[in-house]
A and B are shown apart, each in its own frame.
Chain A
Amino acid sequence: MTSTSASSLSPAAAPARSRAGRLAGPAVFVGVLAVALGVLPAVLEPFRLNLVAQYLCFAIVGLGIAVAWGRGGMLVLGQGVFFGLGGYAMGMYLTLERVSSDPLSGGVPDFMSWSGISELPLLWRPFAHPAVAIATAVLLPGLVAALLGWAVFRQRVRGAYFAILNQALAAAFVILLINQQHLTGGTNGLTRFPTLFGASLYSADTKRWVYVAVVLVAALVYLAFRQVVRSRYGALLVAVRDGEDRVRFLGYDPTWVKTLAYTLSAMAAGVGGALFVVVMGIIAPSSLGIVPSLMMVLAVAIGGRFSLAGAALGAVLMNAAETAFSESFAGGWTYLQGALFVLVIVFAPRGLAGIAESAAGWWRSRRQPQGSSQ
């Protein structure tokens, strides 16, 4: 997932390309997948491999943001909500798996016993089944986004208002989670998951399998969204982004066009959240509020929101940089991140993918004088 495949996803991508140009994208994709599955597990220690899995969870969220924001022009500043819905759904299953194997628990998670609850609440019961938990992690964020999107886009709410609405949603979600401590574990969130489907999550072997699963899911989401952005619907989404009112006069209702993209991005965030819980062993309000939601969008802006590969790469790079910096000098990262964001907005609004595209375009026009004008 590097510059070459990024250029093929640009909305203004030049058509009539050579056979080699058309094959470059898939070749890079297969190459990246081969390295991720074949090389990294062999050379990285389990701790590092787990970190890569964590970055990829955010890459999945980033892919969704690239669809909703990059293609659809919807500034989704509250993806933490959907990330959290997915994360908590999976976290509830993992918690119940621990509880059911612990004879001293009394059948309820410890934070519930602290609140004097001795019987598992109705809300929790379905999550004892992994299938229910996984389905909820994917579908519930989608459902919430679909209902919210339909209501909001129908009223032609857009731009800054939509962004602020999403931020408010993230803030409200965090408050809800903290206040319902007896149901959600409050500020601490859900954590301590010794097993997944019966396998110890502390063993290097299980961690490796989790990593492989995350890589495969990320690849699938990438391929699915690639189909979406390259379909007629993808063109329609760009049209809505650039001229919503004009699209109405083509006979389309922009409401469903935007709602679908928003829903897909929420589902991606839910999937990312569900995997994140398994990888990190914790989901808590502190990783879904306003600031984390902003960071998810920031990473996509830096990677390049018009390109799926750029968005995913941005999420991986930013999270990797965060790890690297907090290991050497904590605190400095926040400033650097802010500076990076300003630089990108001012000098490279299309992000790293845009820089790569311009470089590739320059290289092509140097080789054949009749290059694209963009």
Chain B
Amino acid sequence: MTPVAEPLLRLSGIRVVFGSFTAVDGVDLSVAENELRFLIGPNGAGKTTLIDVVTGRVRPSGGRVLFGGRDITGLREHAIVRAGIGRTFQTATVFEQLTVADNVDLAACYRMGPLRLLRRRRGLSDTVAAVLERVGLLALADRPAGVLSHGQRQWLEIGMLLAQSPRLLLLDEPVAGMSAGERERTGELLVEIAADHTVVVVEHDMDFLRRYARDVTVLHEGRVLTEGTVAQVQADERVQEVYLGRNVDVAAPLAVGAEGE
């Protein structure tokens, strides 16, 4: 965490309460432009909930989300996308009845007005073709997205994000359930994307983290446990304890429960 000017994304004092369960308990987090940030933590740490807060899916009970200096707390989901934040989901959700190309094309055309949308798509636009090439799905452009494998769906979702050229990409467990080969491919894609985008990745997979992460924020029970480089975080005793599952108290009352997923 290096405070250079105004960070692209700044969360301050975010709290999310589901009934009697506090999923996120006062998180402060800053992500600078062009950063590749990993967000890790055991189940129920509040990682996905935090992403949900940033993207407007969950309204925080307290705290503010600033994006590029603008307060976006409580905006509707599509307005946040239009502000420049895109996300993927743990279980990649693509439109199975539409072709792969249509999926990316719809993502790319989100700034079109209704009248322009009422025209037909003729072939592939340059953006769509470039994105499909980048995520390796060009050959499948005309197939329904329903035929894609799990890994391909994740790539399609990442492609849909890229087609929107957001200022901030939030990837929620992009390699969950992937084969070794698919992980490798996703990692390469991630490195490529991070070269010219600001990316936040929520990930469980420690091997993946060790290979591709630069800066890491560890969440635990709705709070930020620690932040630092991969080496720093790995050396941190508290992190080891959390990940080994020993219930050693970390200056916080223990709250056990599932993440909002």
Q: CB within 8 Å of B: which residues of A?
A: 11-12, 15-16, 227-228, 230-233, 235-236, 238-239, 242-243, 245-246, 248-253, 256, 260, 373-374
Contact = CB atoms under 8 A, between A and B. Distances in A.
Given A239-B95, A249-B77, A251-B78, 8 more contacts: A15-B143, A227-B120, A228-B118, A233-B114, A246-B93, A246-B95, A248-B76, A250-B78
Interface stretch (B14-22, B41-49, B102-110, B173-181): B102-110
B147 A250 contact: no
Interface of B: 55, 57, 76-78, 81-82, 86-87, 89, 93, 95-99, 102, 105-107, 109-112, 114, 116-121, 142-144, 146-147, 160, 164
Nearest to B141: A15
Contacts of A251: 78, 81-82, 110-111, 164
A253 B76 CA distance: 9
Nearest to B110: A251
A373 B55 CA distance: 36
Nearest to B55: A249
Nearest to A260: B114
Contacts of A250: 78, 81, 106-107, 110, 160, 164
B118 A231 contact: yes
B104 to A, nearest CB: 10
B76 A242 contact: no
A17 B109 CA distance: 25
Contacts of A11: 97-98
A233 B118 contact: yes
Of the listed residues B99, B114, B117, B120, the one surrounded by the most CB atoms of chain A closer than 10 A to its CB is B117
B117 A232 contact: yes
Contacts of A236: 106, 117
A102 B107 CA distance: 61
21 contacts: A12-B146, A15-B143, A232-B105, A232-B117, A233-B114, A236-B117, A239-B106, A242-B95, A242-B96, A243-B95, A246-B89, A249-B57, A249-B81, A249-B87, A250-B78, A250-B81, A250-B106, A251-B111, A252-B78, A252-B110, A260-B114
- Among A251, A373, A374, residue most surrounded by chain B Cβ atoms (within 10 Å): A251
A-side interface mostly:
helix
Contacts of B160: 250
Nearest to A235: B102
Contacts of B147: 373
Contact of B142 (A16, A230, A239): A16
Contact of B99 (A15, A230, A232): A15
A67 to B, nearest CB: 12
Contacts of B109: 232
A238 B97 contact: yes
A15 B142 contact: yes
A251 B76 CA distance: 10
Given A11-B98, A231-B117, A236-B106, A374 B87 contact: no
A150 to B, nearest CB: 13
* Residue among B96, B105, B144 with max Cβ neighbours from chain A (10 Å): B144
A235 B114 contact: no
Nearest to B144: A12
A374 B144 contact: yes
Contacts of B78: 248-253
Contacts of B99: 15
B106 to A, nearest CB: 6
Contacts of B86: 249
A253 B105 CA distance: 16
A238 B57 CA distance: 22
B81 A233 contact: no
B205 to A, nearest CB: 23
A233 B117 contact: yes
A361 to B, nearest CB: 13
B117 to A, nearest CB: 4
A260 B113 CA distance: 13
10 nearest A-B residue pairs (beta carbon): A251-B81, A251-B110, A15-B142, A248-B77, A233-B117, A11-B97, A239-B95, A232-B117, A246-B93, A235-B102
Nearest to B99: A15
